[in-house]
A and B are shown apart, each in its own frame.
Chain A
Amino acid sequence: DSGVTQTPKHLITATGQRVTLRCSPRSGDLSVYWYQQSLDQGLQFLIHYYNGEERAKGNILERFSAQQFPDLHSELNLSSLELGDSALYFCASSVELGLAVSTDTQYFGPGTRLTVL
């Protein structure tokens, strides 16, 4: 158990709908990363939050957004869902003490499996 929790485990929804995925980082971790894993694209970075602020964006669609709350949990919002959004969504957390050089490692949650019908 990595200490990172994600809910729900599974989500089945229809095209055009909106869903929210939730992530609670390990105790003390300030950074949260979101990744998408699909069969054809592998594991891809979506977005990174540090202590409530957006740090970096990867291959995240405009239909997707995220935020990190004062208690450090994070939510990934996916809207206008398409069949191609079906994937495993992982969040990972790391300590990241705010230094310019990071030696932190990322610990992954169990993921949310999203199926869009």
Chain B
Amino acid sequence: QKEVEQDPGPLSVPEGAIVSLNCTYSNSAFQYFMWYRQYSRKGPELLMYTYSSGNKEDGRFTAQVDKSSKYISLFIRDSQPSDSATYLCAMSGITGSARQLTFGSGTQLTVLP
């Protein structure tokens, strides 16, 4: 079983829809939770960064972390065709050698105009 599970999709939605992306994890040591966006053949771009449980909002993006359920989500409101990309959840621990990121497999999102 992988440490981080993410539905690979693909996910296709009409422009303006609300998109929900999710990951589950098994490692209780994870304390930092991130969402990256990756366009085809490009480097991952950091979208959201959350420490421990709670919600964080940035424009059209909202990240939620529920450590009790080991479940994180990313919501995209008023989705745009430019949001079409692969979305990767990532997690890391706190100390020493635990800072490397463990990624989900990515969800491919297409927003149709």
Contacts and interface: CB of A to CB of B under 8 A. Distances in A.
A105 B105 contact: no
Interface in B65-113: 88, 90, 94-106
Contacts of A113: 41
Interface stretch (A66-74, A75-83, A94-102): A94-102
B49 A42 contact: no
A56 interface: yes
Given A2-B45, A103-B51, A96 B34 contact: no
B60 interface: no
Contacts of A107: 46
A56 B44 contact: no
B44 A43 contact: yes
A111 interface: yes
Contacts of A45: 100-102
A2 B42 CA distance: 11
Q: How large is the interface on B (under 10, 10 to 19, 20 to 34, 35 or more residues)?
A: 20 to 34
Nearest to B36: A108
Contacts of A100: 94-96
B10 interface: no
A55 B97 contact: yes
B89 to A, nearest CB: 11
Contacts of B59: none
Contacts of B51: 103
Contacts of A94: 99
29 contacts: A2-B43, A2-B45, A4-B43, A33-B101, A42-B103, A42-B106, A44-B103, A45-B102, A48-B100, A55-B96, A55-B97, A55-B99, A56-B98, A58-B100, A100-B94, A100-B95, A101-B94, A102-B94, A102-B95, A103-B51, A104-B99, A105-B34, A105-B46, A105-B49, A107-B46, A108-B44, A108-B45, A108-B46, A109-B43
Q: Lowest 3 CB-CB distances: which A-B pairs, in order?
A: A56-B97, A108-B43, A45-B100
